[in-house]
Structures are given as C-alpha cells and as structure tokens.
Structure 1
C-alpha cells in the first residue's frame, strides 16, 4: 500500500515540476511583422528562470531574424516555438548583441549556421562562457538543465545589412561590455538597443569600460532616428525618456563616486549611500549600486589618490 502511494505521488508530482520549468513567453507585436518578448526587471532567480531580458524577432520574406536568444536552452526552445506559432518561415539569422548569458544561452535552440555576432563578442563568449554557465546554474538551478555554450558561427560588422524585405543598420558600441551590437531596423524604425540602454531597471557594469565611455556613446546612440526603442531590459519606449533616465542615472553615479573618493569614503559607505527619490521607479537600484561600486569605484579612488600632492 505504501509503495502504491509513493508511486502515485511521484506520477502526480512529476508534471507539476515540469510545468514549473516552462517559460511563459508573451509575444507583443510592436511593429509590422516584429515581435518583442519583455523580460522581468529582476535579478536572476530560481523563480524567474533568468527570464529578465528582452528578446525579439522580425519576420522577413527571406526568413526570421532573431535578436538575442535568452538565458537558457529552455528559454530558446520556448522562443523558437513561439516563432513557429507566428510563421512558417525558418530562422535564418540570429543576432547576438553581446556575450552576457541572459542574451545568448538560448542559442542551442536555433540553427548553428544562423548564429551571428561581432567578432569581439564571440571571443569574449569563448573565453568566459563556461564561467558564465557555471554561475547561471548556481543562480537559476534546473532552468539551465541541458544548456551549454554555443558560439556564433557568423561574423557581424557595423554597417548596412539586408535580409529579404528589411533593411538593417548595425552599430558597434563598447560602453556596456566592450563589444555591444545595436540594431536599427530601418524598414520599421525599430531600434534594438540591447544593454546599451536600460529603462526602469538599474544598469549593470561587470564588464563596462566606464561610465564616461558609456555616456559618450549614449549621446551618439540617442542621435539615431527611431520610431520605437527596445531596451535590453525594461519596457518599450517611443521617445527619448530612456536616454534621459540613463544619462541622469549615470551622472548621479559619477558624481557619487567622484565625491566619495575625494572624501576617502570606503566601498561599504558608498554602497549604502542614499538613492535619489527620482530613481524610486528604477528596479534593483540598491542591488546594482552595490555591484557597480565593486566594479567601478576603485578607479575613482585611484584617480583621487593621483591628485594628492607628492611630499
């Protein structure tokens, strides 16, 4: 009798476990033949499965163009299934905007010959991919089951790109990781800014070249004409408010770090600095202040020390 109960429980419980590990992706058509999947403005967790990133795809008459593949094989499978629910066109190009795991670890679900990225992105993913994977398994657990690093096989370069009836313009920036692809679909006026732009979500800086570099490039990026902008994290925007928020947020960080270093404040003191009320709607601001202080504050301390008079 007890054996029957154990077996029955196992049979009932297994589908529940499996159902919990299915991404519920919601597609939103943001322009003709153009769909976005908006991620949560959260940190990686076993609850969200790493679904914190925006992905997108465009259906052209020469196949589907995918922009980023999500954080895991399971996510990639769910995204690919969603694409099949929209069109019979095959996926012919997958543009990976940078090497961070939430943007590229769903690539196993797509044709290997379709995977494309900037050459620097491929090199960084090859160098850091296994470490990223180990960390992702640690943070999101079984959602990562079966996920392995898949390197892009095609090289992208800045400039024009035609795919069927869509004309794209590709841009290479460096502020977020050192190799950051931004894609403008000139046919619909949709700008896929990836993690060069965060909106209503605090920016991340583990591989940033620096806030000064990022701000300069953001000014260049903001000059591109668009009808709608898909940030790497956060909701779709149709005006310049994401750029304004990014500039304001980065200026605050720069001022905080510069003044704190001049005063000789410690890392811990900077991490616990008050966050301006105007950023109350920016998700994970405290968490990312702690991380960004760790990543970038030592540079400001060195700069402050270099200004001291030599006796």
Structure 2
C-alpha cells in the first residue's frame, strides 16, 4: 500500500473533520402506539418542502422513517420526491402535503430502488409514479425481500404494506434533460454508484439539489448495491455542479439538508477510508473477524448507524477484496 505524506494526511483529516452539518430541531416525534409518523413538512426554499426522517438506522421506535421525502408546488401542480418506507407513511405523507398546498399532485418520483424510496407508493396509485428503468427492475426483483426485512424491523408500522414499484420508467437515454414545470425549471440526470441507477434532480429555480442516496450527511452510507469507483466518480460530478454556483441547498435522502459540499465530502471520505481499509486488510491476510474489530476514526465515530452500517459493509464487501487479492499475481 502506498505511503501518504504526513502533512497531506493531516490536511485531509482536518478537511474531513471541518465538514460539519448543521442540525435543526427534530422534525417529528413518531407515536408508536398510535402509529403516527408526525410528519412535519419544513419549507427550505420557495415552493419547496422537505419531510425529514430521523438520522438513524431502521427501528420500530422511528417507524423505519429514516428518509427525507420532499415536494415542490410548482404552480402547475406538485412534484413528490420519494414516498417513504410503508403504506402508512405514504398515506400520512399525502395528508401532510394536502395541508400545505391545494395544488394537485402531478407525479411522484423515486430516486433509486431502495425500499424507503417507494414503499409508500400504495398511497399514490392514482398518480404517475416514476423512476429510472433500472430502478424499477430492481424494485420488482427485490421487493419481496425488502418487505420481509421491513416487517421484521418495523413491526406494526408495516401493516398492509406491499412492494409497489414505480409505474413509469424513465429511459436513461433521455437524460440529462431539463423541463419547465409551472414556475420551476427542473433538471434530471442519471448517475450511479450508490445503486446501478441513481436519479438526481436539480431545481434551477431555487437551487435545491436532490441527491438521493449518493450523498449522506452525518450518517454512515449504506452499500448493498454499491460500485465504489462509480460512486466516487458521481460525487465528483455532483461537486462540479455545486461549484458551478447552481446549487444553494443539498437534500440528501439520509441526513440533514445543508449548503455546499459538506455531505458530499463526508461521503467521499468514508468511502475512501472504507475501501482502503478493506484493501489493506486483504493484503495483510486478515480474516473477516479481525477486520470487524477495526476501530473507526474519530471523525466517523459519532455518525448515525455506526457501527451497524460499517459491519454490514464489511460483511458484504470484504470477501470480494480478499478474492481479488488471492486472484492477483504473486508478489
């Protein structure tokens, strides 16, 4: 493994530590007895609201609500982004939107294939639900397993929930594209790395960037469908977009809304550390049990879902690093 000059290493660590995310007051207090998510839309820009999930791991206490959903009242109708982890969430999300705006919902957008992005779709079957074609294929292939896992983790919050994939496929060949919806100029493009198909939305009218699962803020990234090299490349593309001045606020699907590249750089730092750690351990011949005891650097230690997500990533991906080392040329 290449040695890194100490001054450069210190600079990288200090830079990563400096990327902090402001934490607003808790947006909701779920009621486990009444099965009430207590969804509270928070306006972050003109015509734009986010319903913030808990920055945590799935649990019955939070109703498995760990995702940020959002909606834009464009003047011509509402665009909904993500529908949460359950039928119940989708129903309560719909009522929360109706309390804020009387505009009709025109379409519902899912940013990737993970269950908390689309399991609320049962509440939106009378509206067009859209996602990238690859995401819909993944929803259909993995929906049953998702349901089993969420019922186990969330219990009664999942009553009546069924996997309901998006209805309409967005052809990646048509992206990137920009369209005028009411008073808002919206740009969509396809990236990948967190999953095989990561849909990103930028509202040029307000400067709000919806990054989906490509960016995590103060939360350990999930990696079940990761392509680490592609993910880093996608983060580079997002950073260029932010540096262009077109972005005023970043909405990750997991973590707090923030300005600038802080969440992006946190995600990049984690992925680099994770993959370097696994590569180094594989080259040293460590077994998985030994790697699972690896201490997490202080800058990551207080992030949400730690150490559970770290251990999940190691369990899934470390054998791949071992195989690559074993298949490599003899040294």
Same fold (TM over 0.5): yes
**Pairwise mapping of residues 1-311 of structure 1 onto structure 2 (< 5 A)?**
19-157=33-171, 158=175, 159-209=177-227, 211-224=228-241, 225-309=246-330
Shift of 1:303: 1.8
Q: Is the 8 A contact 1:67 1:96 kept in 2?
A: yes
Shift of 1:197: 0.6
CA distance in 2, matches of 1:242, 1:103: 19
Q: Is the 8 A contact 1:112 1:153 kept in 2?
A: no
Cα deviation code 1:258-310 (max 9, x no counterpart): 11000111112112200001113321231111100122112211221123429
CA distance in 1, matches of 2:81, 2:278: 34
Q: Is the 8 A contact 1:96 1:117 kept in 2?
A: yes
CA distance in 2, matches of 1:112, 1:222: 37
> Gaps spanning 5+ residues in structure 2: where?
1-30
Q: Is the 8 A contact 1:91 1:110 kept in 2?
A: no
Give TM-score scaled by structure 1 length. 0.90
CA distance in 2, matches of 1:309, 1:239: 45
Shift of 1:196: 0.6
> Structure 1 pair 179/34, CA: closer, same or farther in 2 (3 Å)?
same
Shift of 1:232: 1.1
Shift of 1:18: 7.8
Q: Is the 8 A contact 1:112 1:152 kept in 2?
A: no
Cα deviation code 1:74-117 (max 9, x no counterpart): 11111110110011111111000111111110111114442011
**Which shifted more, 229-238 or 278-287?**
278-287
CA distance in 2, matches of 1:162, 1:241: 29
Look up the match of 1:5. none
> Gaps spanning 5+ residues in structure 1: where?
1-16
Cα deviation code 1:184-207 (max 9, x no counterpart): 111111000010111100000111
> Structure 1 pair 305/138, CA: closer, same or farther in 2 (3 Å)?
same
Runs of 4+ residues deviating >4 angstroms: none
Q: Is the 8 A contact 1:91 1:111 kept in 2?
A: no
CA distance in 1, matches of 2:165, 2:76: 23
Give TM-score scaled by structure 2 length. 0.85
If you compute each CA radius of gyration, which structure gives the higher value, 1 or 2? 1
Q: Is the 8 A contact 1:91 1:114 kept in 2?
A: no
Question: Secondary structure at the residue paired with 1:46?
Answer: coil
Count of residue pairs the alignment pairs up: 293
Q: Is the 8 A contact 2:32 2:63 kept in 1?
A: no
Cα deviation code 1:170-227 (max 9, x no counterpart): 1111211101111111111100001011110000011112x22211111112111310
